[in-house]
Amino acid sequence: MTTPDATGDQHHVVIIGCGFGGLFAARALKNEPVRITLVDRTNHHLFQPLLYQVATGILSEGEIAPAIRDIFRNYPSLRVVLGEVEHIDVDARTIHVDEFGQPLDLHYDSLIVAGGAATSYFGHDEFRHAACGMKSLDDAMYLRGQIFGTFELAEAEEDDEARRRLMTFVVVGGGPTGVEMAGQLKELSRRALRRNYRRINPLDTRVVLVEGQDGLLASMGRRLSRLTERDLTRMGVEIHLDAMVTNLDDEGAVITQKDGTTTRIPAATKIWAAGTRASGLGSLLAGAELDKAGRVVVEPDCSLPGHPEVFVVGDLMGLSDLPGVAEVAMQSGAHAAHTIVRRLKGEPPKPFRYRDLGTLAVISRFRAVAKIGPLQVGGFIGWLLWLVVHVTFLTGFKNRFGALTRWAISFVGRGRYERALTGRWVAGTGRTTKSA
Amino acid sequence: MTTPDATGDQHHVVIIGCGFGGLFAARALKNEPVRITLVDRTNHHLFQPLLYQVATGILSEGEIAPAIRDIFRNYPSLRVVLGEVEHIDVDARTIHVDEFGQPLDLHYDSLIVAGGAATSYFGHDEFRHAACGMKSLDDAMYLRGQIFGTFELAEAEEDDEARRRLMTFVVVGGGPTGVEMAGQLKELSRRALRRNYRRINPLDTRVVLVEGQDGLLASMGRRLSRLTERDLTRMGVEIHLDAMVTNLDDEGAVITQKDGTTTRIPAATKIWAAGTRASGLGSLLAGAELDKAGRVVVEPDCSLPGHPEVFVVGDLMGLSDLPGVAEVAMQSGAHAAHTIVRRLKGEPPKPFRYRDLGTLAVISRFRAVAKIGPLQVGGFIGWLLWLVVHVTFLTGFKNRFGALTRWAISFVGRGRYERALTGRWVAGTGRTTKSA
């Protein structure tokens, strides 16, 4: 056991997690008189809203997942630890990390817990084996192999019924992730795969989108919801509203409507974009109260009751039912950092106020819906807004420039770069493509 | 068993393998009155000379591995089959393919076998577990995880000796692949990883290059060989000439000099860029004579003795000891295609003549050596030649444009896109980075 950070004169801030919450907390502390240790279980920040573009072959994994160490190369007093947090002792102000099998104890003066969220199968954990989530880079890489792999299997398939199953994609969840995934699967089959096959017609690809509520993108209001449904329907996406997925297995999905009618849809690929649950990190905070979604109940300034030096931000934060979006994580992460700085200066904390900067979802090439304050727009104007926002928030110049290049090639042109099936594909189909 | 291609009026050309040989054969047949079936075990063509750039995080996998179906989307009479060739019956003119577990028989009028080469461990097959080859996209992806993963392990390591082992890379083989790999590992540690770590100094990275002959890039002649050695030595690469790797295991490598002295080098990462052997496809050609390198002995027109309708091209072709380079595969693939067309027109075959267009190897950013006919250049001029040749030969506009973008970012700037450690890293270190 080593405690290399138990000494040192400067105020020591430990940040757990380098999603949007942790990233914005660390950035807000750049020029402050503090030492920072950033702990993450992966070596990269992940721009989660673009995971669907990696899964459908538009962007490469590196373009949405810059290395954490590289983001913070000009932060000399920030150290990155790659490890798994195993225990948090809020009384001793110490976190215990498993760093490649070795225990590492980090003593902190202030702690920011930004654990994020994981996929929730709503109590149906057995669905996990049949439907891939959309939370991590591994999820996206698995789906990429699955999507391009099933088209290969379909081209080789003699049986009509089996081929239809291979070319059917069921997307569960009509929020932004599900809508964007369904739209891109249709774009893929309508444009990028055109003239690629000799026996199947990619236009026969069936995309089924299932949503439990009575509208898609419910948080964006009725008008944009209807606009999204109209656009997706015109593209050929089958939308099931007021419907639940009541079974998922290797063969396909069973959809149950509100009125009790059930439909069995044979489908090789099922994508779970329905639910998230707070990260398990909340349960490591001894004595912390969790709400029914597993989020840590915090004070108005994002701190843990009784522990003003511990902050919980982002998807793990239970505060006045804020939505689980990147913007909340960014703002609450920065707020926690500012509160630490205020305390160091002897100033009182301020309550966190979320400024809703709007919501966006891409429907197809050149079409998106956007709700920004009172402004509700769809179509090409919505898409331009989407482009500006995503280019602005992508981390780092080279990622922005690279993503813009890819988008020009994928949206203006018709090609997709990332279609290579590698050893990963094994997981999806039992077949390896590794050359000997 | 299905024989969908046993009928049809047009002359049917079956091409096995879509490396440089198969790709150039198919292209040469584009506007000819033939049907083509292209069989490959992967879904992508692979630009092998740039594998080292994927392994070191400069290019993404898709940029050097375009989907075969997409390359040939405008070849309506070309069909792609993704499968493993299990048997070739040259008398019945039929090949037997395992297509996702289903048998598929393809009858041909002409056959082009472009099976390529695999890694040879020179009889030491046990080295395979300790040293990754550099032939497939999976090799490059594995190495990428290994390279960026060991720097993470080194940053966490307390023990000096263990840390030195983690930061040591042994590259076996002083041909272009080994030279380019060794150079890029040094570039990575000198530039791209600068200021990324707080405990290790990437400049301490040790790169050892081992070559059995008395010079690097032996095929390029003494002058360029010496120039390469000087440039790499200045960069800090340790070069062992006249030296063999006599043992390789998890801990490191044992190098034995010509005079019998042995050195043990503890090294976490060993990269095998030393030898290739012809693909096992040659042994499927019943009755064909194989040379000692396992290549199929062919007539001067690249056809199989006694079977003028069967051609063997590229690395699998045993003809007057041609070098195992992409250029030979391209030219012999095209030659086989032209010979088929001549025969259809009733013209006699011509012997294959290899035009050596030159050899190139990159040493570092802005430095390369090039031998083109009587011209032998190094330094920046050599690098410009390398750039022009590689941009010209990359398959497809979008790959060219994408690669140029990445090179600008990596060579002119200092960043590398592709550093994300995903589930793949498991293979290298026993650790998964998959987030829950």
Per-residue pLDDT reduced to its tens digit, B83-118: 999 999 999 999 999 998 899 999 999 999 999 988
pLDDT in tens, B364-406: 888 999 998 888 999 999 999 888 888 887 766 667 777 887 7
Res B249: pLDDT: 93
Which of B79, B194, B406 minimises the CB distance to A198?
B79
Residue intervals in chain A for CATH 3.50.50.100: 120-276+365-427
Spatial contact of B387 and B205, defined as CB atoms under 8 Å apart: no
Residues sharing a CB contact under 8 Å with residue A433, sequence separation 6 or more, in sequence order: A421, A422, A423, A425, B41, B42, B43, B138
- Asked if the Cβ–Cβ distance from A42 to B435 is below 8 Å, we say yes
pLDDT of res. B425:
55
Mean pLDDT of A307-320: 94
Coil vs helix vs strand at A238: strand
pLDDT of residue A29: 97
Phi and psi at residue A415, in whole multiples of 5°? Answer: -85, 155
pLDDT at B357 over 90: no
CA distance A71 to A196: 39
Backbone phi, psi, residue A114, to 5°: -125, 65
Contact B409 A401 (CB under 8 A): yes
A120 touches A277 (CB < 8 A): yes
Distances (CA, A) of B230 to A74, A117, B366: 33, 53, 15
CB–CB contact A156 B100 (8 Å): yes
Which chain B residues are closer than 8 Å to A41 by Cβ? 433, 435
pLDDT tens, position by position, A58-92: 999 988 999 999 999 999 999 999 999 999 999 99
Domain with CATH 3.50.50.100 in chain B: 120-276+365-428
B318: three-class secondary structure by DSSP: strand
How far CA B426 is from CA of A181, B132, B229, B339, B383, in Å, comes to 28, 15, 35, 48, 36
**CA nearest A249: which of A266, A262, A236, A233?**
A266
How confident is the model at residue A403, as a pLDDT? 80
Is A158 a residue of the active site? no
- In the predicted model, what is the mean pLDDT of chain A? 89
Q: Which two tokens stand for residue A320?
A: 């006045």
**A227-241, A278-292, B49-63, B145-159: which has the minimum mean pLDDT?**
A278-292
In which residue ranges of chain B is CATH 3.50.50.60 found? 11-41+83-116+279-344
Tokens of A238: 């089958």
In sequence order, what are the residues at sequence separation of 6 or more whose Cβ sits closer than 8 angstroms to the Cβ of residue B261? none
Q: What pLDDT was estimated at residue A321?
A: 81
Q: What is the CA radius of gyration of chain B?
A: 23
Per CB-CB distance under 8 Å, the chain A contacts of B41 are 433, 435
Is CATH 3.50.50.60 the classification given to domain B11-41+83-116+279-344?
A: yes
Distances (CA, A) of B151 to A55, A283, A347, B157, B167: 28, 32, 41, 10, 7
Does the distance separating the beta carbons of B409 and A398 come in below 8 Å? Answer: yes
Name the one residue in this structure whose structure tokens are 């082992």: B165
Cα Rg, chain A, nearest whole Å:
23
| Per-residue pLDDT, A434 | 33
Strands B102-107 and B94-99: antiparallel
Q: What is the pLDDT of residue B432?
A: 36
A170 DSSP β-pair partners: A208, A270
Strands B269-272 and B168-172, sheet pairing? parallel
Alpha carbons B340 and B344: distance in angstroms, whole number: 6
- For domain A120-276+365-427, give the fold: FAD/NAD(P)-binding domain (3.50.50)
- ipTM (interface pTM): 0.91
- pLDDT at position B52 is 95
- Neighboring chain A residues of B12 at a CB cutoff of 8 Å: none
On the question of pLDDT at B319 being above 60, the answer is: yes
Q: How many CA atoms lie within 13 A of A434 on its CB side?
A: 15
Pick left, alpha or beta for residue B423 (phi over 0 → left; psi -120 to 50 → alpha; otherwise beta): alpha
d(CA A398, CA A122): 38
CATH class of B120-276+365-428: alpha beta
* Residues of B belonging to the active site: 180
The single residue of A152, A157, A158, A180 carrying the catalytic annotation is: A180
Got the DSSP string for A31-93? Answer: TSSEEEEEEESSSB---GGGHHHHHTTSS-HHHH--BHHHHTTT-TTEEEEESEEEEEETTTT
User: Average pLDDT in the B408-413 region?
Assistant: 74
Q: What is the pLDDT of residues B206-225, one digit of tens each?
A: 999 999 999 999 988 899 99
Rounded to an integer, the average pLDDT of B406-417 is 75
Q: Give the distance from residue B272's alpha carbon to the nearest chain A alpha carbon, in angstroms.
A: 14
Nearest CA distance, B245 vs chain A (angstrom): 22
Question: Is A60 in Cβ contact with B417 (below 8 Å)?
Answer: yes
Give A417's contacts in chain B (Cβ within 8 Å): 60, 62-63, 398-399, 402
Return the structure tokens found at B381: 């001029």
Nearest CA of chain A to the CA of B396: how many Å?
A: 10
CA–CA distance, B122 with B120 (Å, rounded to integer): 5
Higher per-residue pLDDT: B5 or A427: B5
Q: What is the pLDDT of residues A356-411, one digit of tens each?
A: 888 889 998 889 999 988 889 999 999 998 888 888 877 666 677 778 877 877 77
